[in-house]
Amino acid sequence: MPRAATASDAFNAIGETHRREILGYLARDERTVGEIVTGLRLLQPSVSKHLRVLREVGLVRVRRNGRHMLYRTNGEAIRPLYEWTRTFERFWANQLQRVKERAESKGQEGPGTAEI
């Protein structure tokens, strides 16, 4: 079995750096394909292809305006990713806690707890 299609879900779609950049770029306002091309310095066919993937997984929305296509990020579709990552929130929360505790008890370094 090959790797899951990039358009199979949001988790796969955001694996690509350029697609994440596009999502960021489209987060504020809707943008034309041409604006993305010049704004992010990508080639037009590449942008169109990435937009197709993003559209297929619902990460962007489009509407037509004359001969322009106006794309915008659909933040709702990012929420599942957010929720998934939040599942691990306690890790860095604990980390901050530990750092704070260590600072407060400002004593001794634990001897090298080996990490592989």
Partner DNA sequence: TTGACATATTCCCATATCGGCATATATTAG
Partner DNA sequence: CTAATATATGCCGATATGGGAATATGTCAA
- Interatomic CA distance for residues 17 and 102, integer angstroms: 37
Q: Which does 44 bind (CB under 5 to 8 A by kind): DNA, its own copies, none?
A: DNA
Of 63-71, 72-80, 81-89, 96-104, the window that binds DNA (rule: CB under 7 A) is 63-71
Interface with DNA includes 64 (CB under 7 A)? Answer: yes
Q: Which does 72 bind (CB under 5 to 8 A by kind): DNA, its own copies, none?
A: none
CB 25 within 8 A of CB 36: yes
CB 42 within 8 A of CB 1: no
Q: Which two tokens stand for residue 21?
A: 């950049």
User: Using CB under 7 A as the criterion, which residues of the chain lie in contact with DNA when the complex forms?
Assistant: 1-7, 15-16, 18, 32-34, 37, 43-53, 62, 64, 66-69
